[in-house]
Structure 1
């Protein structure tokens, strides 16, 4: 048995007094010795937690024992060490940032795309009348995506609704949506249906489940995950690497965060450039006075930054270092 496990899950289910629930749930997770990141909202739960197999088993049993979350499906990975440093459980407006907060308009518990199991998705994805749609952000699909998938140039999922208009010419096709674990597709597919797309599907359990149950066939590259593993391999059938080093162009699957905390850009960087650039995406970031110490991993524990650390927004900063 593995020394540790990491659980990835979500559940759209209304939670009364969600803010209070988040505090209580944090205490419960800490009592089990778990580490991870959980988002609690009025609409449900979204989390990744890590700990011993015994602690993970106790956590899954407790979640399933609550009638509100009985339908929760956990994706389980065996890992050599915990995938987080600390335990966080926070209340937010949504369990995945989309800007689609009104349950009267978009509600995955009422209407969403047809769920396809991994084997069904694999059998359907190459049909002539099918379009594969990646609903994730740039830094995610840059390091790995399904062969022939449509991707959007977006920095976060909040930008997805505005991009749907670009798909108008595909309304007669079968739209197969996918994301890391399925949570974004619940709202993305619901939005597509609302916008007049009639034949909409979603990969149940996302890329992670597809890798476990269908061998990850035709998924190119690796899958970005929101913990200190950063990316994980998916394809054991016909694996490939599609990402290249931002600095030198060398093929690499290693993704890091820029050592400049103001930038913090997700990008791919080979080991050689990592040490040469000190874990930074640009020379401008390399000389930033608040640059974090690079240890070869490019993963940094999130810490609050002083308000006056820099008055430039991340978006403006990225524009500056590009010019």
Structure 2
């Protein structure tokens, strides 16, 4: 048995006074010695937490005991080290930023794509009347994606609504959407249905569940995750690596952030180039005088920034609830 577990989960369920819930939930997580990142919004929860198996078990039991979150499905990974350094739980307007002026335009509890279990997704994905759609960002699908998947040139999911017009050619097909754990597909498939796509599906539990229940067959590369592991293997059937080093083109799945904090580009870089470039993406960044010290990981702990009281005041005047001090 591994020393720790990492839990990935989400639940679309209305939370009254969600901002206070976030404050209370943070203290609850800390009482269980968990570390991780949880986003709380009026529409629900989106989280990844890590801790000892007994503490993770207590957390899952508490979540399921709350009738608002009883349907929550946890993806559980056995890990040798904690996947986070600290525990963060923050209130935001949405648990996944949709990019819509009015996020209430879509509600996954009312309309969303048909959920496909991993084995059903695997059986359908290669049919002639099917298109597989990756709804994740560039840095995610560059390091791993399903064979023959359609990918979108987006830096963040909030850009997805603007890209739907590029998918018009697939309106006559069954569209199978997928993402890391399923949460983005809930909104992506709802948006597709809203725009006139008729046969829209989503991979239930995302790539992570597909790896556990279907062996990850035909998922090329590795799956990007939003914790200290950065990427994880999901394909035990026909694994491969598809990403290449930005600097030399060598096959590599290692992703880092540029040591130049003003750049901070998230990219693939092999170990050799990492040391040669001091963890920078380019010679221009390497030449900067105040770069972060590269230790071979390319992972840098965020330094909390001072609270901007003027910014908070302006948000209040616009009737936006204040966000937590540190971005998730």
Give TM class, smaller chain.
Answer: over 0.9
Q: Give the match for residue 318 of structure 1.
A: none
Contact kept in structure 1, 2:144 and 2:221, CA below 8 Å: yes
Post-superposition shift, 1:288?
Answer: 2.6
- In structure 2, the residue corresponding to 1:181 is in which secondary structure? coil
- In structure 2, the residue corresponding to 1:297 is in which secondary structure? coil
- In structure 2, the residue corresponding to 1:175 is in which secondary structure? strand
Q: Give the match for residue 74 of structure 1.
A: 74
Cα-to-partner distance string for 1:211-249 (whole Å, 9 max, x where unaligned): 000000000000000001000001000000100000000
Q: Give the match for residue 28 of structure 2.
A: 28
Q: Give the match for residue 142 of structure 2.
A: 142
TM-score under structure 2 length normalisation: 0.92
Contact kept in structure 2, 1:93 and 1:101, CA below 8 Å: no
Q: Give the match for residue 194 of structure 1.
A: 194
For residues 38 and 306 of structure 2, the distance between their equivalents in structure 1, rounded to whole angstroms, comes to 24
Contact kept in structure 1, 2:180 and 2:224, CA below 8 Å: yes
Q: Give the match for residue 205 of structure 1.
A: 205
Q: Give the match for residue 56 of structure 1.
A: 56
- In structure 1, the residue corresponding to 2:264 is in which secondary structure? coil
For residues 31 and 306 of structure 2, the distance between their equivalents in structure 1, rounded to whole angstroms, comes to 31
Q: Which segment drifts farther, 197-206 or 249-258?
A: 249-258
Q: Does 1:118 align with 2:118?
A: yes
Q: Give the match for residue 304 of structure 2.
A: 304
Q: Give the match for residue 272 of structure 2.
A: 272
Q: Does 1:129 align with 2:129?
A: yes
Q: Which segment drifts farther, 110-119 or 250-259?
A: 250-259
Q: Give the match for residue 316 of structure 2.
A: none
Post-superposition shift, 1:101?
Answer: 6.5
- In structure 2, the residue corresponding to 1:142 is in which secondary structure? helix
Post-superposition shift, 1:272?
Answer: 0.2
Contact kept in structure 1, 2:247 and 2:273, CA below 8 Å: yes
Post-superposition shift, 1:103?
Answer: 5.4
- In structure 2, the residue corresponding to 1:63 is in which secondary structure? helix
Q: Give the match for residue 214 of structure 2.
A: 214
Q: Give the match for residue 96 of structure 1.
A: 96
For residues 151 and 2 of structure 2, the distance between their equivalents in structure 1, rounded to whole angstroms, comes to 35
Q: Give the match for residue 174 of structure 2.
A: 174
Q: Give the match for residue 283 of structure 2.
A: 283
Post-superposition shift, 1:104?
Answer: 4.2
Evaluate the alpha carbon distance shift between residue 21 and residue 98 of structure 1 in structure 2; reply closer, same or farther with a 3 A threshold: same
Q: Give the match for residue 317 of structure 1.
A: none
For residues 288 and 66 of structure 1, the distance between their equivalents in structure 2, rounded to whole angstroms, comes to 51
Question: 4+ runs of 1 displaced by more than 2 Å?
Answer: 100-104, 287-290, 304-307
Cα-to-partner distance string for 1:271-301 (whole Å, 9 max, x where unaligned): 0001111111112222333321111111111
| Structure 1 segments unaligned to the other structure (5+ residues) | 308-323
Alignment RMSD (CA, Å): 1.2
Q: Give the match for residue 321 of structure 2.
A: none
Contact kept in structure 2, 1:42 and 1:94, CA below 8 Å: yes
Evaluate the alpha carbon distance shift between residue 103 and residue 156 of structure 1 in structure 2; reply closer, same or farther with a 3 A threshold: closer
For residues 87 and 165 of structure 1, the distance between their equivalents in structure 2, rounded to whole angstroms, comes to 39
- In structure 1, the residue corresponding to 2:222 is in which secondary structure? strand
Q: Give the match for residue 311 of structure 1.
A: none
- In structure 1, the residue corresponding to 2:8 is in which secondary structure? strand
Evaluate the alpha carbon distance shift between residue 235 and residue 211 of structure 1 in structure 2; reply closer, same or farther with a 3 A threshold: same
Contact kept in structure 2, 1:246 and 1:268, CA below 8 Å: yes
For residues 100 and 186 of structure 2, the distance between their equivalents in structure 1, rounded to whole angstroms, comes to 11
Post-superposition shift, 1:258?
Answer: 1.2
For residues 102 and 109 of structure 1, the distance between their equivalents in structure 2, rounded to whole angstroms, comes to 16
Contact kept in structure 2, 1:94 and 1:101, CA below 8 Å: no
Aligned residues: 307
